[in-house]
Each structure stands twice: as C-alpha cells, then as structure tokens.
Structure 1
Amino acid sequence: MPRKNYIYNPKPIFNPPQNKRKISKFIFYAMKKASEIDVARSNLNYTLLPIDPKTGNVLPRFRRLNEHRACAMRAIVLAMLYYFNINSNLVEASIEKLADECGLSTFSDSGNKSITRASRLINEFLEPMGFIKCKREKSISMSNYIPKRISLTPMFFMLFDISESKIKNYLSSPTKFFQKPKIQEKKMFISFSDMEIISQLDEKSARKKILNALINYYSASQLTKIGPKGLKKKIDIEYNNLCKLYKKK
C-alpha cells in the first residue's frame, strides 16, 4: 500500500449510537466547548511534559501529534465526554467501543478487528500527557486483564478552556446541572450526527440547514426577539464553528 494511503479513515468523526445516552447539562456544555475549539492544537499539547505512567519519569523521546493522530484525538475527546460519568469520574465505554464509534477500528482482509489506532492514541499520547488516567483490573475468572478503565483529569477539560475551578464549581452544584431543563433546552440545537451531514454540504446548503435547525429550536416569540440580523449572526457563528470542527474549506 502506498505510504500516503496507509491510514484507514483519515478523517474520523464521533458518531453516537442510535439509542442516545442521557447526558447532563455539564457534559452537553463541555461537548459544545470541545466542538468549538481545536483540542488537537491546544497549547497544552506542546507545553506539557509527557510522563511515563508506569515509572513517573519524563519521556525524552516522545511522539507528538501528526495530522492523522490529531484527527483521531478530535473525535475521541468528544466520545470520552459523551460517555463520561461525573459521579464516578469514569468513561463508561471500552476502548473498543470508543474506537468503533469514532471510526478508528480497522479490519484485516480476514475480518479481524484492530483498535490499535485508538489504543495507541490513549497509551502513547493522552495518558502520558496527563489528560486521562488508565487502570487495568485483573479478572477473577480469567488470567488476563479486563479492558482499561479511563478517568478524565482536570487537564483534559483545560484542552477546551474549562478550568479546574470551574469544574469544581459545577461538581459542587449538582442540582444546577441535573435540574429539569427548560422547554427550549430539551433538545440539542444540532445533533452530532447532523453536524457530520451538514459538514459534507456546500456553504449555501449548509447555511440553509443551520437556519432550519434554528427555526425548529427557537419559539416564534424568541425568533422575533432575535430578529433577522441576530439570526444571520447565529448562522455565521454556527457555520464557522462547523468549519473549524471539520476543517471545511
């Protein structure tokens, strides 16, 4: 295979399952922030010292993010947030599940699945950089170890500008983020699956889709208050965010 084609699915995107998981307002907020900021190009990726999780020593020779790994990181950060349980501080999904839903799993000609692309990103970058912590637990009935349990660190949230103090504030006020949402907050403005569809459209069609989503999201009275200029501004913002997220040109 030519070197330029050695990566399967060079632009992975997180696609949540059809049976949508109920997420808290905090996670919704965090996912929105992570969608608006290029987490793969955060200054943290270049300023933090990578630490060997086994020895605690600084890794002098360390593989930074190339573009393919950067694309994988953008997808898996959203997936980890989607499956993150605030109370247990655990990502409630296996690495295989994360790989499958981010398009990072590959299959050989004989049909064997590989999740190496996701596991290497976790083992060789996210964990040494201190964004996550991983733990393996030995199975009682088996001689091997069950898949890693992943927890998110405050540094993970700093990738998209959520500080540790802000996290503590959220966690100390659980009712604020688990209260029954208001009518206009019951649905997402644009679902992540719809984002992917819109990202494939030309600019005119994409803006029209965003406009329709805004019309469905806001009530008639709210749209009147927003006005034509405000609506255009919101469309511009959402379209620009989509362009940044999916590198749309």
Structure 2
Amino acid sequence: MSRKNYICNLKPVFNPPKNEKKRSNFIKYAMRKASGMDVARNILNYTLLAINPKTGNIFPRFRRLNEHRACAMRAMVLAMLYHYNIESHVVEASIEKLSDQCGLSTISKAGNKSITRASRLISHFLEPMGFIKCKKEKTRFHSNYIPKKIFLTPIFFMLLHVSKSKINEYLFEYKKNSKVLKIIEKKIFISFSDIKVILKLDEKSAKNKILNALINFYTASELTQIGPQGLKKKINIEYNNIRDLYTNIKK
C-alpha cells in the first residue's frame, strides 16, 4: 500500500452533531480560539517532554507530529472542546464518538469499523504530552470492555492561549447560572420573565404579581381547597424564594 493511500481521510474536519443543545459561552469562546490558530504547530508540541502515563518516566524516543497526525489533532481538539464539561473537566464523549465526528473512523470491506487513528492520537501523543489524562473504567453492562474517560488538563488550554483566570471566570458564571436555574425550576408556575419583573418591584406589588400567577396556575377547585390562608402562605413562600434568587444572582 502506498503512503498516499495509507491515510483514508487526508483532511479530517470536526463536524458537530445536529440538533444538540447549545454549547456554553466558554465552549464557544475556546472553540473560536482553537479555530483561529494552528494548535498542531504550537511550540508546546516541540518543547514539552513526553511522559509515559503508565510509568511516569520520560520517553527516550518519541514520535512527534507528522502532517497526517497534525490534521487529526486539529479536528480532535475542536471535538474535545465541543463535548467538554467545564465543571468536571471531562470530555463527555467516547473515543469512538470523537473519531466518527472528526472523520477519523474507517470501515473495512468486511464492514468492520476502526478508530485506530483517533485512539493512537490520544494514547501515543495527546496523553504523553500532558494535554489530556485518560482514566479507564469498567461498565456494569460490558464487564470485559474498559472505555476511557478523557480529562482536559491546564496544558491543553495553554495550546489555545486560554488562561486559568479566564477558565475560572467562565466557571463562576456557569455555577451561578446553574444555581439560578435550579431555583427557577422549583417555580415553574412563574415564568422567568415574570421573575425578573418581580425582582424589581416593591413587596406589595411583587406579592400581587405572585397572586395573579397562582390564580392562573391553579384551577378554581384547587384554589378553593387551598383557601385564603393557604394562598397567603404560598404567596409569602414564593416571595421569599424569589428574594433568595435575587441574593444568589448578586453573589
């Protein structure tokens, strides 16, 4: 087989899946950074020492990036960022999924899929260089199959010139928004737009707004069962909850 035909996809490109939920502001920011530079030719790729992840020893001989592996890396970096969870640092996608979305998977004439190009990039370059860490874990469904969980390291973001302070800034925003959303989920009868309005009102006006929301939320029979005192209690509870929401937003 000639070298020209050895690589099935000379120009792999990451193709994000359709109809997926929107990515966070941090993911969008990091992917823009990665797209605006050549991560495969970053100086870190030539200056960092490659470490054997199993032994912790420096590899005396280590294969650097040729052009084919460099092309695979450019696509893989974007795919890993797309599936990255900023809170857990985990890439929430399997190697097979990453390989498929980057166009690195191949199918033999017998119909067998191979993800060797992607798995070798990960185990023979990205992990030894310290850009990622991999953790094997058994699943209860496949006792003999041990998939890899991929974690992005701070060195990975050095490739993109994304500082630790920038990551912390987005992480703070993520946690704050998550906390707010959890509180909002408990008040499903009040729309988010109404909550924003209520936060700006004085106590009497805010409680009237909550009363109207409760009246629209419950049926006439349910309101009868709740009674005037029960309704007043619910208004006070929801008003206090919304004030707590306001406090959390300011933190």
Asked if Structure 1 and Structure 2 have the same fold, meaning a TM-score greater than 0.5 normalized by the shorter chain, the answer is: yes
**In 2, are the aligned partners of 1:50 and 1:62 still within 8 Å (CA)?**
yes
Deviation of 1:167 (Å): 1.9
Which AA in structure 2 matches 1:3?
R
Listed as ranges, the matches of 1:1-249 within 5 Å are 1-174=1-174
Distance in 2, matches of 1:31 and 1:142, equals 33
Cα–Cα, structure 1 residues 138 and 27, in superposed 2: closer, same or farther, change >3 Å? Answer: same
- Shift in CA distance, 136/175, structure 1 to aligned 2, threshold 3 Å: closer
Q: CA deviation at 1:175?
A: 6.2
Q: C-alpha distance in 1, partners of 2:21/2:173?
A: 22
One-letter amino acid of the counterpart of residue 11, structure 2: K
Whole-angstrom CA distance in 2 between matches of 1:26 and 1:141: 33
Pairwise CA distance, 1:139: 2.6
Larger radius of gyration: 2
CA deviation profile, 1:141-183 (whole Å, cap 9, x unmatched): 5432331000100110110111223323332343688899xxx
**Where do 5+ consecutive residues of structure 2 fail to align?**
182-251
Q: Which whole-Å CA distance do the structure 1 matches of 2:169 and 2:109 have between them? A: 50
Q: 1:82 to 1:141 in 2, by over 3 A?
A: closer
Count of paired positions: 180
Give SS of 2:134's match.
Answer: strand
Residues of 2 paired with 1:13 and 1:5: CA distance?
A: 18
Distance across 1 between alignment mates of 2:143 and 2:165: 42
Task: Kindly provide the CA deviation profile for residues 95-119 of structure 1, in whole angstroms up to 9, marking residues without a partner as x.
Answer: 0000000000011111100000000
Q: State the structure with bigger RCO (CA 8 A, min sep 6), 1 or 2.
A: 1
Q: How far apart in 1 are the matches of 2:25 and 2:142?
A: 39
Alignment-mate amino acid for residue 70 of structure 1: A
Q: Distance in 1 between matches of 2:106 and 2:46?
A: 29
SS in 2 for 1:85: coil
State TM-score, norm by structure 2.
0.68
CA contact (8 A) 1:50 1:59 kept: yes
Question: 1: CA distance between counterparts of 2:10 and 2:131?
Answer: 23
Deviation of 1:87 after TM superposition, in Å, equals: 1.6
CA separation of 1:141 and 1:97: change in aligned 2, threshold 3 A: closer
Is the partner of 1:149 in helix, strand or coil?
A: strand
Query: How many angstroms apart in 2 are the aligned matches of 1:21 and 1:63?
Result: 38
Distance 2:140 2:22 in 1: 32
Look up the match of 1:209.
none
RMSD: 1.9
Distance of 2:177 and 2:152 partners within structure 1: 18
Distance 1:177 1:50, change over 3 A: farther
Take 1:55 and 1:140, find their aligned partners in 2: how far apart are those partners?
28
Aligned equivalents of 1:141, 1:12: Cα separation in 2: 32
Q: 1:30-83, CA deviations, whole angstroms, 9 ceiling, x for partnerless residues?
A: 000000010000000001000010100001111100000000000000000000
Which runs of no fewer than 5 residues in structure 1 stay unpaired? Answer: 181-249
CA distance in 2, matches of 1:172, 1:127: 28
